Amino acid sequence: MAFPTHRPRRLRSTPAVRRLVAETDLRPRHLVLPMFVKEGATEPVPIPSMPGVVQHTRDSLRKAAVEAVEAGVGGLMLFGVPERHDATGSGAVDPDGVLNVALRDVRAEVGDATVVMADTCLDEFTDHGHCGVLDDRGRVDNDATLAVYARMAVAQVEAGAHVVGPSGMMDGQVGAIREALDAAGHTDAGILAYTAKYTSAFYGPFREAVESQLTGDRKTYQQDGANVREALRELALDLEEGADVVMVKPAMAYLDVVRAVAEASDVPVAAYQVSGEYAMIEAAAANGWIERDRAILETLTGIRRAGADIVLTYWATEVATRL
């Protein structure tokens, strides 16, 4: 009987051998922790659909930021949960609005020890829950929204953000923000472009986390899940407009898009393991159906393997302490 000369199993024989030949690594620096801060909160508020995740107070946010930095995470992405909403999302540009106050708090606490990022979108701040301002027919007004995004990005950088993250999928958002930041003298501030943000069923827990006011859907401006080539058109536009990092959201159901974007991009690529993806794993693990810790690492490694240089995940601090 002839035996094979090449035996791939030789490279699986011990943990040390497997570590030596691993093609994809996962390190704390690859991870970004999304964080929610609730205006007026006096203690952290648990989010039922996201076990282990909370709406922070200003104090608990600072403490959690320090813990994340000590674990070595690559960055923090902040989202605000305001007490009041209005048609134009005015709290988003208010220097004393919840998100801008939180950015000042976190930057004062951690300085340049990690990358402080801000969600640059209006959906948390509007009374209709859409990512932009509406016209007289109730449709999102793309160009009017760009003007607000530009002001919002400047306010966020002046509050302490190293990087702003326009996530509203408005046409021209990266260019409008880059122009505004440069005009304000913030030429070193980066833009993480939500290049391919799909309209997805996996955002439900996030909407609970930010107490979204949305009725209806965002299908007229978020991307159709059937399309990949469209993502590459969005990528080309974002790169032309000056994006420093580009992102695909969600991650796990769109790994082919992550791969396609990574192959075409000449800037770092991020992917967002969103709230619904987090909730699925936590729920299955709570029922004893999967091994929680292994499943978390497996999914994060898969996102990295698909081509993501950066992964936004609610497990960032926990995973970073285990790597």
- Domain map of the chain by residue range? 25-322
| 197 classed as catalytic | yes
Q: Which residues pair with 35 in a beta bridge?
A: 78
Tens of pLDDT, residue by residue over 90-139, are: 999 999 999 999 999 999 999 999 999 999 998 889 988 788 888 888 88
pLDDT at 1 over 90: no
Alpha carbon 233 to its chain's center:
21
Q: Backbone dihedral region of 198: left (phi > 0), alpha (psi from -120 to 50 degrees) or beta?
A: beta
CA-based nearest residue to 43, from 62, 60, 64: 60
- DSSP assigned state of 140: B
Choosing from 38, 63, 219, 249, which is the catalytic residue?
A: 249
Residue 322 amino acid letter: R
Q: CA angle, corner 198, sides to 196 and 203, nearest 5?
A: 125
Confidence check: pLDDT of 5 > 80: no
219 is catalytic: no
Q: What is the CA radius of gyration of the chain?
A: 20
Which carries the bigger pLDDT value, residue 106 or residue 206?
Answer: 106
Give the model's pLDDT for residue 247.
Answer: 96
Q: How confident is the model at residue 207 (pLDDT cuts 50, 70, 90)?
A: confident
Separation between Cα atoms, residue 144 and residue 241, nearest integer Å: 18
User: Within 10 Å of residue 3's Cβ, how many Cβ atoms?
Assistant: 5
Residue 95 · residue 152 · CB < 8 Å: no
Q: What percent of the chain has pLDDT over 90?
A: 80
Q: Locate the DSSP E strands across the chain.
A: 31-38, 45-46, 54-56, 75-81, 115-120, 163-166, 190-197, 245-249, 269-272, 310-312
Q: Please, which residues have CB within 8 angstroms of residue 111's CB and are 6 or more apart in sequence?
A: none
Region 75-93 average pLDDT: 93
The catalytic residue among 38, 63, 197, 219 is 197
Question: In terms of C-beta density within 10 A (0-12 exposed, 13-18 middle, 19 or more buried), how is residue 115 classed?
Answer: buried
> CB atoms < 10 A from the CB of 7, how many?
10
Q: What confidence tens digit (pLDDT) does each residue in 100-112 have?
A: 999 999 999 999 9
pLDDT at 28 over 80: yes
Which amino acid is located at 69 in the chain? V
Homologous superfamily in CATH for domain 25-322: Aldolase class I (3.20.20.70)
Residue 12's contacts (CB-CB under 8 Å, 6 or more residues apart) are 18
- Cα atoms in the 13 Å half-sphere on the side-chain side of 138: 8
Residue 72: Cβ within 10 Å count:
17
Average pLDDT over residues 183-196: 97
Reported pTM: 0.94
Look over the chain and give the mean of its residue pLDDT values, rounded to a whole number. Answer: 94
